[in-house]
Amino acid sequence: MTGMTILEKEKDLQTFFSVGDKYEKIINLGRKLPPFPAAAKIEENLVAGCQSLLYLECTVRDGLIYFNADSDALISKGLAALLICIYSEEAPDALLTHLPHFLRGLGLRLSPGRSNGLASLYAQMRSHATEWLSNKEATHGI
């Protein structure tokens, strides 16, 4: 989904999820995430509030934020992949201005635990973006 706007990415995901088994698609999205480095499986990268062990790694290069995730649960990893599809390779402020309302349009029926975990993951992504933007402002005096 490189080179697409957030809205184009959302529309692409909605089309992808319009037909077929949604949970199978979520699991397959998770399987397509790049390998997660063992060295990044540290407490600092754990997503609090998730039922499973979910790790989130964040880097910023050339003003764009990149995420990678891994989980011991296939559904959790796939749900992380959904957010990564939308927010990775975007400017960090996109996470602050563009909420994940697209999830409602996918027709997923998540348990309260999975919904809370997904909300916690998004909150951690936002936290990374906010931290990077704060550091940028402090460094550049903006």
Tokens 């499973």: give the residue.
52
Backbone angles phi, psi at 4, to 5 degrees: -100, 150
- Distance, CA of 1 to CA of 38 (rounded, Å): 26
58 is catalytic: no
Catalytic residue chosen out of the listed positions 47, 50, 56, 79 = 50
Residues with a catalytic annotation lie at 50
